[in-house]
């Protein structure tokens, strides 16, 4: 165990307060200070606005409206577009017949109005009017000279949210599918929908998970791969999984999941558990299970997550599997943390990793995806004030942000199906995991958002680990990096930027799916494919456009390719499995442990 880890073990986290300030909130201008009164006012405002900064929204609106006022050409263009749209809608409304359709207009079919009932008058006119409104507002909020990119994204986002709320599909009298179902069932569908709504309302008021999650029990039918907790500190439990093969690869695998989620997204059901797959392929697997933080963990910092998390786990693994390097894999924020840890080890001359694997993890945050909508100085000042009072970021706040980013799939379509059509969607393991959200310590989260998302310190060579900066250019371990085509949390082009941050050997994989479904992509699953291409150490940079055109396409899951990649970087033939734990790190209890059960 490292001296840094031992130093942190007996410590007691202190809530952030005026006497225990948060260094992450320091601004470049030393004259700016947040007094306790300012913090209380901002925190109170955050409770009213659900942590959305009205100042940030107002600035975006002023920027957009002000520049639009001085753009007569843009206004004339929007006026002409609006008149043309109204004329077309009026003509279609008078026909009392279905319009020519998406095929005739050359536009992509809208899945929100795919049911044939939407082609009947007057619902065809209502749906087309909604789509034309979306087109108009997209034109109005984009391409306006002088508006900052962030403010343009914010105004476009707010316009989409407002329009989504007014969609004719969300209301029973303007949704033909809902009306048809109500008539077919003599109103029973609406009655079931009301019962579903009351059930969800009651669950929300009591802090209970969504209906159907009770069918998925951690340790029984999810997160059920056999193993032992071999180490515990106040931030992590380290799980070692029981071998299923007579021989295993010499180097063990350490998985560093994101602390924004429970680790078992990588150990869901037996058929789609990445951890079980690795074990069955002859790998010795360890996985970090993060504690669900509360007030006592409010003052944990990013350095604590490195020392108590990655470094403490490596210390334990080196004791259980001595004289072997470790294949380390990080998912999402866990991958970013692993990258920082690897850069710090390279800076300090430590050679502990055999390779590094990153799943949908960003190291350059200049294009961080739609999450950037919620990240600016005004927004963070409000969020930090709220976290200072509570001690952590509530799990529901992150869930709400992700729902807004994909509001149709995660909010409106679900409400229509369950409350208007009376159909409860079937709960699956991934949805049950998604409902098992976690909190975030105030100090760590503030540092993460400011240093990485807002200031992009890691890419800029300014990110400090124990007071000294680290750079990804120092990393020389082979890298296997996985991104997904439709990721709105870590866009693949942003993940791809790792290519120019390190000269190390880098195998990049782009797979079908989103941030989660692209990673939980087990062999045998239908309609799966990926592209893969290796860049040798020190080779010339290839742009993401050229990579996309060059990388060969492979059918199926990328999991076998990763397992093969790990084995190719083995130090020798397979060996007998190590013991479960060691004298210094004895087995404490069966997996999945205690921390994953905390709510």
- At 235, list the tokens: 């931030």
- At 154, list the tokens: 């914010």
Kindly give the residue spans of alpha helices, DSSP state H, lying in 413-479. Answer: 413-415, 429-435, 442-448
Distance, CA of 348 to chain centre:
30
> What DSSP character marks residue 143?
S
Kindly give the residue spans of alpha helices, DSSP state H, lying in 508-589. Answer: 544-550, 559-568
- At 319, list the tokens: 């004791």
Report yes or no: 459 and 247 within 8 Å, Cβ to Cβ. no
Distance, CA of 70 to chain centre:
39
All residues at 6 or more sequence positions from 358 whose CB lies less than 8 Å from its CB, including other chains = 329, 330, 335, 338, 339, 479, 480, 481, 482, 495, 498
Report yes or no: 377 and 446 within 8 Å, Cβ to Cβ. no
The kind and range of the H/E element at 353 are strand 353-359
The kind and range of the H/E element at 3 are helix 3-8
C-alpha span between 104 and 101 (Å, rounded): 6
3-state SS, residue 555: strand
3-state SS, residue 327: strand
> What DSSP character marks residue 272?
G
- At 206, list the tokens: 């009591």
C-alpha span between 288 and 275 (Å, rounded): 12
Active site (catalytic) residues: 332
Compute the residue count for the chain. 599
Q: DSSP string covering 405-426, please?
A: HTHIIIIIHHHIIIIIS--PPP
Q: Give CA separation, 557 vs 172, 531, 562, 588, in Å.
A: 41, 11, 10, 35
> CA dihedral defined by 232, 233, 237, 242, rounded to 10 degrees?
-30
Residue of 192, 262, 191, 236 lying closest to 435 (CA atoms): 262
3-state SS, residue 236: strand
Report yes or no: 498 and 547 within 8 Å, Cβ to Cβ. no
Half-sphere exposure of 153 (CA within 13 A, CB side): 14
Report yes or no: 247 and 568 within 8 Å, Cβ to Cβ. no
Report how far apart the first and last C-alpha atoms of the chain are (Å, whole number).
29
C-alpha span between 131 and 527 (Å, rounded): 30
Report yes or no: 254 and 288 within 8 Å, Cβ to Cβ. yes
Q: How many CB atoms lie within 10 A of CB 348?
A: 12
């Amino acid at each position: 165990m490292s001296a840094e880890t031992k130093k942190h073990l007996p410590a007691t986290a202190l809530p952030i307060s005026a006497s225990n300030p948060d260094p992450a909130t320091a601004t470049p201008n030393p004259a700016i200070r947040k007094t306790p009164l300012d913090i209380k006012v901002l925190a109170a405002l955050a409770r009213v606005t659900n942590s959305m900064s009205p100042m940030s929204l107002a600035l975006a609106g002023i920027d957009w409206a002000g520049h639009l006022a001085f753009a007569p050409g843009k206004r004339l263009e929007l006026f002409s577009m609006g008149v043309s749209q109204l004329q077309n809608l009026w003509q279609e409304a008078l026909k009392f017949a279905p319009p020519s359709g998406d095929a005739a207009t050359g536009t992509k079919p809208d899945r929100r109005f795919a049911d044939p009932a939407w082609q009947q008058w007057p619902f065809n006119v209502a749906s087309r009017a909604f789509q034309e409104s979306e087109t108009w507002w997209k034109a109005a909020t984009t391409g306006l000279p002088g508006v900052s990119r962030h403010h343009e994204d914010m105004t476009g986002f707010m316009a989409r949210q407002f329009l989504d709320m007014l969609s004719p599909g969300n209301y029973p009298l303007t949704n033909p599918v809902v009306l048809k179902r109500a008539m077919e069932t003599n109103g029973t569908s609406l009655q079931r929908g009301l019962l579903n709504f009351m059930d969800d309302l009651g669950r929300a008021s009591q802090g209970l998970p969504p209906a159907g999650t009770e069918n998925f029990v951690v340790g029984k039918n999810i997160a059920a791969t056999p193993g032992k907790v071999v180490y515990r500190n106040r931030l992590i439990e380290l799980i070692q999984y029981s071998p299923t093969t007579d021989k295993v690869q010499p180097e063990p695998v350490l998985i560093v999941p994101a602390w924004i989620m429970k680790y078992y997204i990588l150990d869901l059901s037996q058929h789609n558990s990445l951890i079980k797959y690795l074990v069955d392929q002859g790998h010795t697997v360890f996985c970090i299970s993060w504690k669900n933080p509360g007030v006592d963990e409010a003052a944990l910092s990013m350095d604590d997550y490195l020392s108590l998390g990655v470094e403490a786990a490596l210390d334990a693994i080196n004791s259980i599997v001595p004289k072997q390097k470790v294949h380390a894999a990080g998912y999402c924020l866990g991958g970013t943390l692993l990258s920082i840890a690897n850069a710090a080890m390279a800076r300090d001359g430590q050679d502990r990793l055999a390779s590094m694997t990153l799943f949908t993890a960003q190291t350059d945050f200049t294009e961080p995806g739609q999450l950037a909508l919620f990240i600016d100085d005004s927004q963070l000042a409000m969020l930090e004030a709220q976290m200072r009072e509570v001690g952590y970021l509530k799990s529901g706040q992150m869930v709400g942000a992700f729902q807004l980013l994909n509001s149709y799939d995660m909010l409106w379509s679900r409400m229509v199906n369950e409350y208007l059509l009376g159909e409860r969607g079937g709960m699956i393991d991934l949805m049950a995991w998604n409902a098992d959200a976690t909190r975030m310590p105030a100090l760590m989260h503030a540092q993460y958002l400011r240093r990485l998302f807002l200031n992009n310190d890691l890419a800029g060579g300014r990110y400090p680990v124990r007071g000294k900066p680290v750079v990804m250019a120092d990393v020389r371990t082979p890298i296997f990096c996985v991104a997904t085509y439709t990721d709105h949390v870590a866009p693949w082009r942003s993940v791809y930027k790792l290519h120019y941050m390190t000269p190390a050997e880098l195998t990049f994989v782009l797979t079908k799916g989103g941030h989660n479904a692209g990673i939980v992509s087990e062999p045998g699953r239908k309609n799966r494919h990926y592209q893969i291409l290796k860049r040798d150490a020190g080779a010339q940079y290839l742009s993401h456009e050229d990579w996309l055109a060059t990388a060969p396409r492979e059918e199926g899951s990328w999991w076998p390719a990763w397992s093969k990649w790990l084995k190719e970087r083995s130090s020798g033939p397979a060996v007998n499995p190590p013991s479960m734990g060691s004298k210094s790190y004895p087995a404490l209890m069966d997996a999945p442990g205690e921390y994953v059960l905390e709510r």
